[in-house]
Amino acid sequence: MAATKVLRSLLHELRQASPNGCIKDSLAARYILAQYKKFETTDQQLCKRRDEALFLGQAYLTYLSSQRKYTELYKEYHGRGERSVRDTADLVGFKLPTDPK
C-alpha cells in the first residue's frame, strides 16, 4: 500500500472513531501527520525508517478498522437474549425444513 493511501485511510478511520466526526483538533491526527512529514523522502533516497513507519501505519490502520468492525458487530448482535430456532438458522444461513401437511 502506498504511503499516501495508508495516511488517508488512517485519517478516515480516525474520523469514523471520533464522536463528532471532526479530527481537526485531534492529537492522534496531528501526531500521524507529523510522523508522515518526518519520514517523507524522495524517490532517490532509500530510507529504512520510512519503511518501518509505513509498516507501523498499516498496523495501526488494521487495528482501527478491526476495532470499528468489532463495535458494529457487537452492537448488532449483543443483548438480544434467547433467539428462536428460526432466528438462529437465519443468522448462520441455514434453511429450516417446511412441514408438508
> Is 93 inside a domain boundary?
no
Segments forming the whole domain that contains residue 44: 3-79
Domain count within the chain: 1
> Is 28 inside a domain boundary?
yes
> Is 84 inside a domain boundary?
no
pTM for the predicted model, two decimal places? 0.67
Q: pLDDT at position 65, please?
A: 94
> Is 95 inside a domain boundary?
no
> Is 89 inside a domain boundary?
no
> Is 98 inside a domain boundary?
no
Q: pLDDT at position 67, please?
A: 94
Q: 10-28 b/e with 16+ CB inside 10 Å = b?
A: bbebbeebeeeeebeeeee
Q: What is the mean pLDDT of each run of 10 residues along the chain (101 residues)?
A: 85 89 86 83 62 86 94 84 83 84 68
> Is 33 inside a domain boundary?
yes
> Is 96 inside a domain boundary?
no
Other Cβ atoms closer than 10 A to 32: 19
Q: pLDDT at position 35, please?
A: 85
Q: pLDDT at position 71, please?
A: 92
